[in-house]
Amino acid sequence: MHFGLFSLMTQRNKDKAAGEIYRETAEHVKLAEEIGMEIAWFAEHHFSNYCLCPSPLAMANFMAGQTSRIKLGPAVIVAPLYEPIRLAEDIGMTDQMSGGRLVLGFGTGYQAYEFHKFGRDLKQARDTLFDVLDFVDSYFTKDEFAYEGKTIRLPKTAFSVRPAQTRPDIYVAGMGTDVEAQKRAVERGYTPFFTTGWNDVETIRGVRDGLADTWGKAGGDSAAVPFAIQRYVFVTDDPEDAKLAADGARYIRRIAMSMRGGYGELDGAFLKEIPAEGEPPLEEIVSRLPVGTPETVAERLARDIEVLGPKHISCFMAIPGLEQSKILRSMERFGSEVMPLLEKRFGPLGELDAMPAAPSVEAAASHG
């Protein structure tokens, strides 16, 4: 089991320039490498302040020259928005420039607003994702190939730029109950990847159980699904800062839901913050997240590990609304205080890859 850093690069303050956000993100990634995180993930979104990273591969290239060990990857490439030949070549070039440190995250995307601007049909996103995954697999494993799928066609072509790796680790977001998608994951060794929002571990367990059921139907071992989750994480002794972190998580949820639900209101490229239906009070959000003292964060992450059994936890630590100094201090304490507490409890985290998840109450009852 290992930890990673997720960077959404949200612009909550209109006066904060994109360049400043990129420079701050670079500081986060370099510190993530110092404290022993495994992967630095970069989001992809377009046309709003929700995310100022339209090209996660460009960000990975930017960080490749400033780091030496940490793996770098998109979370995720919105596959339907790409020209696949150019995407494959960009992936190969990034893998070479990073010295073979590229990992890949792929997804269908979900924001109809983005698809409309690109002239793409969201209804075809699933088919396009499958084609892109097949195409990229061929690119990594064959020097020359032809491809014909539902949405992509390529005559026999030899690529001059080859990746450094035989094939990197590939994570696929969403589609946890899609049997065909998980069949591909089982056969090819993809890792299912999903975000947890502000949900508590029992709610996330329900999602995990649904994924495990689908994984079993797809031919995998439902008791050992190699999946990854994303968690908001913030280390602080100050309860008010913990509330600020929860407020930032709530802000992200509000603007994301407004875009997903089609009711987002834009002032230029800046989204209005609209309360989401059924959202919990701020204090409850604090209680659900790995946010607070090192002991609190370690205990909640330990609970995630014991109940869910993930192979990877992607930590969303640069929560919008928090000062850069507090984000960096939180990361430092995560490395110096939280990770040692977890290793004291579990031993070396790298040996927890195959740790079985705890059964749900329903599953335990059915076997009792």
Rounded Cα–Cα distance for residues 307 and 180 (Å) = 26
Confidence (pLDDT) at 355: 47
Rg (CA), the chain: 20
DSSP 201-230: HHHHHHHHHHHHHHHHHTTS-TT----EEE
Rounded Cα–Cα distance for residues 357 and 40 (Å) = 25
- Residues 6+ positions from 193 with CB-CB distance below 8 Å: 75, 76, 105, 171, 172, 173, 227, 228, 229, 230, 312, 314
In DSSP terms, 106 is beta-bridged to: 77, 172
Output the CA–CA distances (angstroms, integers) from residue 61 to 29, 74, 92, 103, 168, in the order listed: 12, 11, 11, 12, 16
Q: Supply the pTM of this predicted model.
A: 0.95
Confidence (pLDDT) at 367: 34
Stretches where the chain sits below pLDDT 70 are 353-368
Could you give the residue ranges of the DSSP H alpha helices within the chain?
18-34, 56-64, 84-97, 112-118, 125-141, 179-188, 201-217, 239-260, 282-288, 294-308, 324-333, 339-346, 361-366
Tell which residue, 52, 132, 60, 54, has the closest CA to residue 93: 60
Q: How many CA atoms lie within 13 A of 94 on its CB side?
A: 26
Rounded Cα–Cα distance for residues 235 and 239 (Å) = 10
Confidence (pLDDT) at 361: 41
Mean pLDDT of the chain: 94
Confidence (pLDDT) at 291: 99
* pLDDT tens digits, one per residue of 268-290: 999 999 999 899 999 999 999 99
Confidence (pLDDT) at 353: 66
Return the SS3 of 170.
strand
Rounded Cα–Cα distance for residues 96 and 221 (Å) = 34
Confidence (pLDDT) at 46: 98
Contact between residue 241 and residue 228 where contact means Cβ atoms under 8 Å apart:
no
Domains and CATH numbers, the chain: 2-366 (3.20.20.30)
Confidence (pLDDT) at 174: 85
